């Protein structure tokens, strides 16, 4: 897993990217600053600057609370804080620290997030 740093306002949290082609593709785009919005009161979503690869990953997934995901049909990076079930086009690409998920859930629409590689 690759360590990343997620900054929201004056708070920085640590997370990890998975070892799969989609996560590696996201890592190649870092650092990124994205604007997230709430979706269905279970996830925060932001459109990425370009699509991530879906080569070599399952066609869908059932993400868990605290997962970082990619939803290919809308090219969204997703931070999950609720249960969404299985969907085609979802790839689980990382994991948040469970202690940080509640803070993400409380963020208003159109909050800014900077994502960068963690210092080694």
Number of structural domains in the chain: 1
CATH number at residue 48: 2.40.100.20
The answer for 37, left when phi > 0, alpha when psi is -120 to 50, beta otherwise, is beta
> Do the beta carbons of residue 3 and residue 23 sit within 8 Å?
no
Residue 34's domain comprises 2-117
Beta bridge partners of 4: 15, 117
For 43-92, write each residue's pLDDT tens digit.
999 999 999 999 999 999 999 999 999 999 999 999 999 999 999 999 99
Residue 120 pLDDT > 70, yes or no? no
pLDDT bucket at 114, cuts 50 / 70 / 90: very high
Residue 107: the pLDDT is 96
């Amino acid at each position: 897993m690759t360590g990343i740093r997620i900054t929201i306002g004056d708070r920085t949290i640590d997370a990890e990217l998975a070892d799969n082609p989609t996560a590696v593709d996201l890592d190649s785009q870092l650092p990124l600053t994205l604007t997230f919005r709430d979706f269905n009161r279970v996830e925060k979503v932001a459109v990425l600057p370009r699509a991530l690869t879906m080569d070599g990953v399952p066609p869908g997934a059932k993400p868990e609370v605290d997962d970082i995901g990619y939803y290919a049909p809308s090219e969204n990076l997703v931070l999950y804080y609720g249960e969404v079930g299985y969907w085609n086009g979802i790839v689980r690409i990382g994991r948040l620290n469970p202690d940080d998920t509640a803070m993400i859930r409380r963020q208003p629409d159109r909050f800014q997030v900077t994502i960068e590689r963690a210092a080694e």
